[in-house]
Amino acid sequence: MHAAAVESTTVASGLALPTTLVAKLLQIEFRDRTVYQYFGVPAEVHDALMRAHSKGRCFNSLIRGRFDYSLVTNAPSAPS
């Protein structure tokens, strides 16, 4: 299983992780290198994101604000 790199100005990659019958997990890495996990995301939503011409627009309409999520990693800090 691997993350699928996508062409987008917002989303860098998407990964649907193994699921149980109860929880479905979608992990998204954004272009700023932050990684989030979204919980309870149906396979149909993941598929729509991977097929969408505009990944950012699809993310905003189908995922953002609709699923619980957790920040996995922050974007790296700029060197000081």
Q: What is the pLDDT of residues 4-27, one digit of tens each?
A: 555 565 666 666 555 554 458 888
pLDDT of residue 69: 97
Do the beta carbons of residue 26 and residue 14 sit within 8 Å? yes
Q: What are phi and psi of 37, to 5 degrees?
A: -110, 130
- State pTM to two decimals: 0.70
The mean pLDDT of 35-43, rounded to a whole number, is 92
Average pLDDT, the chain: 79
For the chain, the domains span 26-71
